[in-house]
Amino acid sequence: MTTTELPLVVVLGEEEPPLLGRIEDRARLRRVGEADLAGALREADALLVWDFLTGALPAAWPASGGPRWVHTASAGVDRLLFPALLHSGAVITNSRGVFEEPIAEYVAGLVLAMAKDLPGTLDRQRARVWQHRETERVAGTRAVVVGGGPIGRAVARVLRALGLRVALVSRSAREGDAEFGRVHGFGELAGLLPEADWVVSAAPLTAGTADMFDAAAFARMKRGARFVNVGRGPLVVEDDLVAALRSGRLGGAALDVFRQEPLPGDSPLWTVPGLLVSPHMSADTHGWLEDLAELFLANFARWAAGRPLHNVVDNTLGYVPVGGAPDDTPHTEEVSP
C-alpha cells in the first residue's frame, strides 16, 4: 500500500454486511466469496471474515504478505488458528460482546423447557391429548457451566437468577472471583459432574477441550441429568451422547452446535429421544448482524488510527483473555464460542 492509497479491506461472505458504507471514504472494500478469496488476500490489508463458518481460509492464505489484521464476526476463532495465519504476524480479533446475553437467555429457555416438559406439552397438543402432569422446579437445582469466558459467565449469571446453584468451570481454578467466588479448573470437572442436575458446555474449542464430553464424562453425570451444548460441536462426542440418552443415563439434552453443520438429514441426532436440536441459532437475535457490523466498525476506527484493538485473540491460548479494553489486565481464562 502506498502512502496515498486507502487500505484494502477484504470482506469474505456471500451476503453484504450492513453499515460498511460508513467507511467507504477510509477504506477500499472488496467483498468476495470463497472462490476469489486467495487472489484477494494477497493484496489485502485487513480481512473481515463475515462468513464465519467458512473453511476456505487455510488453503487460500498467501505464502507471503496478506492481511495485517483479521477480524471474525464470531466469538469462536478455532477456524482461524491454522499455522500459516498464526505465523504471519496478523492480529486476530473476534466479536466478543455481541453474543453473551442472547446465548444466556437461550440456555435459560432450554433449561426451563426441559424442566417444564414443554416439548411434551406441544406433542400432546398436536395429538389433542389432555394429560395433566407434574413438572420440575429449577430453583435449588445444581448447574455446572463449563467455560469461564463472557458467554459462560453470562449463562451462569442468568441461571443463578432463576435460583440454580451454579459452579463455573474455567481453564484454571482461582479464588476470589467478584461474581462467583471460586472458579473451578477443568481438572475439577470430573468431581463436579456427579452432583450436577444441569451441565452446560460453553467452552472454546482448543486442543484441551476437544471431545471433553465423551462416554466417560456422561457416565460420571447424575442419572437423569440434562446436558446443553452452546459452545462448539467438537466439544461433544455425539455418538456417546446418543448412547447416554438412549440408555437413560441422561434425562435430556439440547444441542445448538454440531460437528457437521448443517446437520445431515440422516443423522441420528434428529430422532434420538430426549434431544432438542437447534440450528446454531442461540446467539442470533433481531439486529445481531448490525451489532456485529458496529463492533467491526469501532475496531476499524482504532486500527486506522493505529490504536490498540479490542478483542485481540491470544494465539497461544486460542481465545481472547477476558479484560475488556486493550489496557485492561486479563483476569479470567477464556471467551466461549
Residue 82: burial class (beta carbons within 10 Å; 0-12, 13-18, 19+): middle
Region(s) of the chain under CATH 3.40.50.720: 8-98+286-304, 100-277
**What superfamily does domain 8-98+286-304 belong to in CATH?**
NAD(P)-binding Rossmann-like Domain (3.40.50.720)
Do the beta carbons of residue 186 and residue 171 sit within 8 Å?
yes
CA angle 185, 241, 51 (to 5 degrees): 75
> What's the CA gap between 227 and 253, in Å, rounded?
5
Alpha helices (H) in the chain, listed in sequence order? 37-41, 57-60, 83-88, 100-115, 118-127, 150-161, 189-192, 215-220, 238-247, 288-304
CA distance 205 to 208: 8
**What is the set of active-site residues?**
232, 261, 280
pLDDT tens for 269-288 read 999 999 999 999 999 999 99
Name the nearest CA neighbour of 145 among 225, 213, 203: 203
The pLDDT value recorded for residue 322 is: 65
- Give the mean pLDDT per block of 10 residues along the chain (337 residues): 79 97 98 98 98 96 96 96 96 97 98 98 98 98 97 98 98 95 97 98 95 98 98 98 98 98 97 97 98 98 98 92 47 39
Distance from C-alpha of 159 to C-alpha of 99, rounded to nearest angstrom: 16
Instruction: State the pLDDT at residue 4.
Output: 65
DSSP assignment, residue 55? Answer: -
Residue range 100-277 forms a domain whose CATH class is alpha beta
